[in-house]
Amino acid sequence: MSNADIIYSFDVVKDLSDDELYKKLYESWGITNGKIEVWGELVDPQTSKFINLYKVRLITNNQTIKYPINLRHGIESGVYAPYDYAKSLLSTKPSVWVKCELELSPLKERQKHNNPFELSIKIGSAEVLQALPIAFDKSQLIEGEETSYIVKSIHDFHIASLQQQFEDTERKLQKELSNITSKNAESIATLEAEKLQAINKLIDEHNSNKQRMELELAKVNISLTELEKKENSLKLNTQKLNSELSQRQTELKFLKVQYKEIQLEMAKKIEKLKSYIAEKALFLKDFEFIDEDDFDSFIFDAVKERDTTQMVSFDEVLKGDYKLAVSYIQAFLKEQGILYPRHVIENYLTLIRSNDLIILAGDSGSGKTNLVQSFAKAVGGVSKIIPVKPNWTSSEDLLGYYNPLEKKYLATPFLEALIEAQQNPEIPYFICLDEMNLARVEYYFADFLSKLEDREKTPEIQLYSDDESAHVLSELKAVVSIISEAKEKYSQDGLVDFVKLMQDEAVNAEMKRAFGFSDKDSLIKYHGDIRRMLAGIINTPSTIKVPANVRIVGAINIDETTHYLSPKILDRAHIMRFESPLLSDWDSILDEVEGYDFDDVSKPVSLDIEALGIREIYPKFDRSNEFCELFVDLNKEFFHKIGVEFGMRTIRQGLNYLALFKDVNSDSELAINNFLLHKVLPKFTFDGNKSIGDQTKLELIERVLTERLKLQLPNHENYSDVFCAVKALETVVRDAKANDGVVNFWS
């Protein structure tokens, strides 16, 4: 039952939902199946891009419809049809009759035309009609389809069309079947011929293979005969070797016996040598040429053994697992009230194991020297903080110098730390040059750094000429000889004190005569000079090897009072940046530590010198290696173009770092990120305004290099800003734009 006379006011329907609006239309037009199905004429005016459906009637009852609201332009003005869809229905015709389903127009269109009920053709619902009803008469409807809109003429048309399609299809299928049958017959004949040919071929091949196999079998039999001969020969050789082995074992037993005898003999000689040294040392001590500590260094073993009884064994407890060691060190430091993110300890431990120079860079108070000290404590080592002075200009400021007037070497705290480490080879020493760039590093440290570059042997530093120490020892030998002769000549063997010996006038006169001194010369003063010179060569040898238990770390602040690091230093060092501990996510660090399963973290871990890294040659450059390929490409595409030095040694250092980093973290992407921060970005100091082709250097790193690194490091968003290569590069670009295009990583 239609309610077509119902007219709603605009105020009633303007705020209704789509479902409520559909319900109103269904009620107005007597629709019960939930679809607005109509038929009408689709007309293309060809003068505009608006195609509408006119003469709209419901399919269910063939009645015309209108919107249940008073409008200036109602449904008789046409229902909108989507242009491209309507064009596909029209083809080239100016108009067609279609049946379709209508739906509410988009809300913007309804608001635009001030018609909440505005409808449009639903895409995909339209079908072009082939015939139309002349009059609406139930007698014209198909039997049993009283609700259908299709008239008999349309039905007949479709039946005839379908019948024609069926006949055409049947003829086509018959023809195809005939062709297929003919082709099948031909194919069967061909297959039979091919089958016969294949069988004949197989027979021929079988006969040929049979002959070949017989020949091969004959060859095998010959080979077996030869092998049997060789086996017999080997048996004879084995018997001979066993006989020789037995003879060598007998000789080895004899040599072992001889070796033990030699050992005993050497032990006796060593004891005699020690006794001789002790006698001479005792003489020197009695006559005050050496003090008690120097005497102990002669008589006793000066090397101190490391006490690991109060430490956690890296090999036994932590099973030699560096990942577990990082967890333990982080937990140990937390127990001491020191919080570092895990990735900082991973990175620092890897750099320590690389045996390269490490430079910690960050603001004052960011925890650089604290990391050196706390890490040393965590691994049972010793830290030495050496402040750098602004007036350092040469290696003498770092290592000291030989004073020819006093005939002794004036050592520095840095050299004293090296000597102390040499005397304690089992204990790790971490020597930190604090505020390293207060003076120009290339002035006072370059020579020492060149020594550290040698990866094939232990670096050795010549402090002063060997002739100087030889001269002192020669003079001492003469003094000892003269004193001994004077004691013996005047039967003063009971006097072992130099001052008392000098108080004996006869001995004093004899010694002055032997030395060629006058009465005005003081033997006491001369004795003091000899004592001072001897102490100098005992405590400071003419050469010193950089001990294997030493790691050199630099700490730098970047401000207007400091110097930038030169390319030579950057090329050989790893730069590890720091941020203020106040910026750290302490909750995240505590969560990391709480995830570790340690019962007690009060003791340091006993990482021995070998576990802290062996100085060895860097891995070889391999062109097929992914890391090598990556940085060769980056160098060609970017670094070389912008004037950043990047050589083979840097790539080999990177290979070494990646290999070591795997022990603490399997994330190779993070390792590459760290390497970029250590070795590449610190070299970014140049004028970004200079052109490279059609762009500037600054544009190249901003538009291309940054995007390349983002692709290479897809997880860079997970890294904190100060430890992320991508974010660091973006900061460099941003700062350069604010500084007239001058690119400076350190600004």
- The closest alpha carbon to 390, from 437, 431, 447, 434, belongs to 437
- 445 and 471 in a common domain: no
- pLDDT confidence of residue 290: 55
551 and 578 within one domain: yes
State how far the Cα of 163 lies from the Cα of 208, in Å rounded to an integer.
65
Domain range for 442 is 312-461+546-594
Residue at a domain's end among 539, 555, 585? 539
- Asked if 432 contacts 383 with a C-beta cutoff of 8 angstroms, the reply is yes
pLDDT at 676: 95
Does 245 map to a domain? yes
Is 191 found in the same domain as 278? yes
Cα–Cα dist 400/402, whole Å:
7
Alpha helices in 287-308 (DSSP H): 292-299
> What pLDDT is stored for residue 470 in this prediction?
57
* Helical axes 466-489 vs 505-515, angle rounded to 10°: 140
**Has residue 451 been placed in a domain?**
yes
Residue 45: inside a domain, yes or no? yes
Query: Is 175 found in the same domain as 61?
Result: no
392 and 476, same domain (yes or no): no
Distance separating alpha carbons of residues 540 and 69, to the nearest angstrom: 109
- Four-residue CA torsion sign, 595, 600, 602, 604: negative
Q: Are residues 70 and 45 in the same domain?
A: yes
Residue 567 lies in a domain: yes
The phi, psi pair for 685, rounded to 5°, reads -140, 100
Beta-bridge partners for 27:
none
Residues of the chain where predicted confidence (pLDDT) is lower than 70 = 1-5, 131-162, 164-165, 252, 256, 259-305, 464-508, 510-540, 560-561
* 454 in the same domain as 358: yes
Q: Is the same domain home to 512 and 552?
A: no
How far is 537 from 526, CA to CA, in rounded Å?
A: 17
Q: In terms of domains, do 457 and 475 share one?
A: no
Checking DSSP bridges between strand 573-577 and strand 401-403, what pairing results, if any? unpaired
∠ Cα 399 537 269 (to 5°): 130
137-179 per-position pLDDT tens digit: 444 444 444 444 444 444 454 555 567 667 777 888 888 888 8
Q: State whether 488 and 522 are in the same domain.
A: yes
DSSP string, 52-79: EEEEEEETTT--B---SB--SS-GGG-E
Is 571 among the domain residues? yes
Q: Report whether 591 contacts 298 (CB < 8 A).
A: no
Which of 530, 564, 594 is the endpoint of a domain?
Answer: 594
**pLDDT at residue 485, as a whole number:** 60
Among 552, 565, 568, 570, smallest CA distance to 437 is for: 565
The confidence score (pLDDT) of residue 699 equals 93
Which pLDDT belongs to residue 455? 82
| 346 domain residue, yes or no | yes
pLDDT of 300 reads 47
| Adjacent-strand bridge partners of 127 | 99
Number of domains in the chain: 5
Are 174 and 37 found together in one domain? Answer: no
Query: d(Cα 167, Cα 163) in Å, to the nearest integer?
Result: 6
Last residue of a domain, one of 514, 539, 564: 539
Task: Give the Cα-Cα-Cα angle 213, 217, 218 (nearest 5 degrees).
Answer: 120
* Predicted local confidence at residue 531, as pLDDT: 61
Looking at the fold, whether 718 and 739 belong to one and the same domain comes out as: yes
b/e code 64-101 from CB counts within 10 Å (16+ = b): ebebbbebeeebeebbbbeeebbeebbeeeeebebbbb
Query: Does residue 429 sit within a domain?
Result: yes
Q: Is 622 part of any domain?
A: no
Q: What is the pLDDT of residue 288?
A: 52
Torsion of CA 440, 446, 449, 453, to 10 degrees: 140
